[in-house]
Amino acid sequence: MSGTPPDPTGPPEPPVPPDPVPTGRSRYEDYDLSDVAAPAPAPRRRTPTLAVAALVLAISGVLPMITVVAFRPEGSAALAFLVLGIAEIAGAALVFMLHPLGRPVGLVLGCIGIGLGIAAAAQSPANGVVTIALNGFVIYALASSGPAFRRG
């Protein structure tokens, strides 16, 4: 202890900075709004709707191949069934992988499926309506899930 008594007023206070000179503008007016940061790209996300659409396309691709093996259609009909089956299985794989080409391919295959469903409805209304409904779901799923297919 030193022999001097403590200062009764306490330690000296730090100097207070002077108030800024008013400029007539608010602080938010000083921000540069022309330099807007680009939003970060959203991660690609496979929704359950897209997974079911890919599954519907895959099953729709397997059925023509089963038709070729089981019923052995003649000539160009067998080739048409095989091409349709391979295209739908390839489209299902592209949709499931969220490849950017999967969306337009799936939409085209869905439209072809609706056309085939309308043609099938003339012979078997129940079969045709189910085909139309399933392919309509594929079109809906792909049309409403566009951001999932973007590159980035």
pLDDT of 23 strictly over 90: no
Residues 6+ apart with CB under 8 A from 144: 49
Predicted local confidence at residue 32, as pLDDT? 64
Model confidence pLDDT, tens digit, residues 28-76 = 666 666 767 777 666 668 899 999 999 999 999 999 999 999 999 999 9
Average pLDDT over residues 6-27: 70
Range list of β-strands (E), the chain: none
Closest to 64 measured CA to CA, from 52, 74, 75, 78 = 78
4 DSSP 8-state letter? S
Q: Which two tokens stand for residue 150?
A: 């973007």
Predicted local confidence at residue 22, as pLDDT? 64
What is the residue extent of each domain of the chain? 48-149
Percentage of the chain with pLDDT > 90?
64
Q: Which two tokens stand for residue 52?
A: 């079911």
119-144 exposure pattern, b = at least 16 Cβ within 10 A, e = fewer: ebbeeeeeebeebbebbeebbebbee
pTM: 0.70
- Give, in degrees to the nearest 5, the angle at Cα 148 between 45 and 88: 105
